[in-house]
Every structure is written in structure tokens, then in C-alpha cells.
């Protein structure tokens, strides 16, 4: 799953609906499922359908934020998630670009982000006489402290715009960072790696009064032959 799909899943939720989509592939205009189309096409499939690729290209060509707003997003993102060595932070993870993309990809998110950015500058100018991106770190934190909590007893959509904005930005920043190359490196995640199996420990075998057949253990637990494909004779005897 790529970053876009990860974020959509987290933001939109809908686990029940998602389950239905997993087991009932989307239908194309021809009536075939997406899976069938992918299986029969000669083009390589890298996790996105042609329609998805076309939509991504279209969204990338659009502009939601101006330069000042992008700089404000960058300034807020490093307050939410301060960078640290050696991997950096939201800027190195290109979180501002991702925030803009998601704001275009999920239309209802755009007004919340734009309105929240306006609120930040208005609040900063009112309190400190400067726009948010130019405020000191302590001033930025003071502003964020006022909007970082929300009433868990009320739907988020019924709460003030600035509360919705910060909640959205916090989710996008943290999720965007930890689904990026630098964020994954920060976690130390190495992905699936081959394991080395040396058989059941001897003390466990002794406990149950069993033992390996020496001939089999020599064939099955020889790490120097771990990449050798097993071969069997016609009578079902293991040869390798």
C-alpha cells in the first residue's frame, strides 16, 4: 500500500465498506473486475490502475496552496513533529507536498486546510504582530496549544474550524512522515527478512522424549543448502 492509500484509509475510515471492496473487486465499464483487467493486460501493474494514474497526474497539475501557504504548512509540520538526526523530519519527508496532494484528492479536506492556515496567520498577527511562519518556536507552540485538544464527546465536524484543522494537520504530518522513506528509516523497519531455522531446541526435544532422525536433520537443517530446492524420488524419499 502506498502513502496515498495509507492516508485515505486512516482519514476516511470505513472499515466495513473497505472490507466489501476487498472481496468484491471494482467493475470496469466492460463488466470485468479491475483484477481481471490487470491479469489480462500486457502492461506492468505497479499498484495503480490506469484510471488512478490519470487522476494522480491531474491532481499533481492542480494547485491548492500558494507559496506562503506551503511555507506555513512546512512551519507547522516541524512544530508538530520536530526533525531529528540523522533522518530529518517532515520537510525531508516532503510532508507539505503530501498535505497539498491529499487536500486535492479529498475535496472536503481542502476548505479545512485553507481556513486553518488563514486562522493561524490571523491568530499570530493578533497575538504577536507577525505571520505564523515568522513567529518564534515558543509563539508557534503557544498558538498550537490552544487548538491541539478536541472534545471527544462531540463529532469532530461540529467543533471549531481551527480544531478540525490542527487535528487534520497532525494526522497528515505524522502519517506522512512515517510512510516516507526517511520515516521508515527512523523506525528502523527493515521489512521481511529471511530467518535461519536450526530446528527445535534440544531441551524441548528432550522434554517431550523425541529426537530428530540424523539423516533428516542433516538434510533439513543445513544452512549451507538453504537455497537448494528439495528433490524427492518416486517413492517419496527426500534426496536433497
Q: What is the pLDDT of residue 39?
A: 46
Confidence of residue 238 (pLDDT cuts 50, 70, 90): confident
Q: Peptide bond preceding 128: is omega within 30 degrees of 0, i.e. cis?
A: no
Q: Which letter, b or e, does each residue of 125-145 get, where b requires 16 or more Cβ atoms within 10 Å of its Cβ?
A: eeebeebbbbbeeebbeebbe
Query: Length of the chain, please?
Result: 240
Q: What is the pLDDT of residue 78?
A: 96
pTM beyond 0.75, yes or no: no
Q: Peptide bond preceding 198: is omega within 30 degrees of 0, i.e. cis?
A: no
First to last CA, the chain: 38
Is the confidence at residue 38, as pLDDT, over 50?
Answer: no
Confidence of residue 34 (pLDDT cuts 50, 70, 90): very low
Q: What is the mean pLDDT of the chain?
A: 82
- Residues 96 and 74: their CA atoms lie apart, in Å, by 6
Comparing 4-18, 142-156, 194-208, which segment has the lowest mean pLDDT? Answer: 4-18
Q: What is the pLDDT of residue 216?
A: 76
- What the block records as the C-alpha cell of 89 is 523530519
- Residues 226 and 104: their CA atoms lie apart, in Å, by 49
User: What DSSP state is assigned to residue 26?
Assistant: P
- Residues 142 and 150: their CA atoms lie apart, in Å, by 16
Is the confidence at residue 96, as pLDDT, over 50?
Answer: yes
Q: What is the pLDDT of residue 233?
A: 87
Tens of pLDDT, residues 146-201: 999 988 899 998 999 999 999 999 999 999 999 999 999 998 887 777 677 777 88
- Residues 170 and 164: their CA atoms lie apart, in Å, by 10
Best-predicted range by mean pLDDT among 40-49, 94-103, 228-237?
A: 94-103
Better pLDDT: 154 or 28: 154
What are the residue ranges of helices labelled H in 3-66?
3-12, 15-23, 34-40, 50-61
Q: What is the pLDDT of residue 239?
A: 78
Confidence of residue 3 (pLDDT cuts 50, 70, 90): low
Better pLDDT: 225 or 28: 225
Using CA atoms in the order 104, 106, 110, 116, what is the torsion angle rounded to 10 degrees?
-130
Confidence of residue 80 (pLDDT cuts 50, 70, 90): very high
Alpha-carbon torsion (84, 88, 93, 99), positive or negative? positive
Whole-number Cα distances in Å, 12 to 5, 8, 228 = 10, 6, 46
Amino acid at each position: 500500500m502506498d502513502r496515498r492509500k495509507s492516508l485515505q484509509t486512516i482519514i476516511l475510515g470505513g472499515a466495513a465498506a473497505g472490507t466489501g471492496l476487498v472481496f468484491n473487486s471494482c467493475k470496469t465499464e466492460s463488466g470485468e473486475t479491475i483484477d481481471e483487467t490487470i491479469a489480462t493486460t500486457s502492461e506492468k501493474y505497479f499498484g495503480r490502475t490506469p484510471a488512478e494514474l490519470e487522476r494522480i497526474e491531474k491532481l499533481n497539475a492542480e494547485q491548492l496552496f500558494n507559496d506562503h501557504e506551503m511555507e506555513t504548512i512546512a512551519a507547522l509540520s516541524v512544530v508538530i513533529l520536530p526533525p531529528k538526526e540523522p533522518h530529518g523530519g517532515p520537510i525531508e519527508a516532503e510532508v507539505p507536498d503530501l498535505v497539498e496532494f491529499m487536500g486535492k484528492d479529498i475535496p472536503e479536506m481542502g476548505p479545512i486546510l485553507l481556513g486553518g492556515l488563514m486562522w493561524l496567520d490571523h491568530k499570530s498577527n493578533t497575538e504577536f504582530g507577525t505571520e505564523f511562519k515568522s513567529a518564534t518556536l515558543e509563539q508557534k507552540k503557544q498558538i498550537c496549544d490552544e487548538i491541539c485538544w478536541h472534545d471527544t464527546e462531540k463529532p469532530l465536524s461540529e467543533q471549531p474550524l481551527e480544531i478540525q484543522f490542527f487535528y487534520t494537520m497532525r494526522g497528515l504530518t505524522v502519517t506522512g512522515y512515517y510512510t516516507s522513506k526517511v520515516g521508515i528509516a527512523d523506525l528502523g523497519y527493515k521489512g521481511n527478512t529471511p530467518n535461519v531455522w536450526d530446528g527445535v531446541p534440544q531441551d524441548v526435544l528432550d522434554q517431550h522424549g523425541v529426537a530428530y532422525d540424523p539423516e533428516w536433520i542433516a538434510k533439513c537443517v543445513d544452512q549451507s543448502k538453504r537455497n537448494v530446492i528439495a528433490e524427492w524420488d518416486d517413492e517419496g524419499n527426500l534426496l536433497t
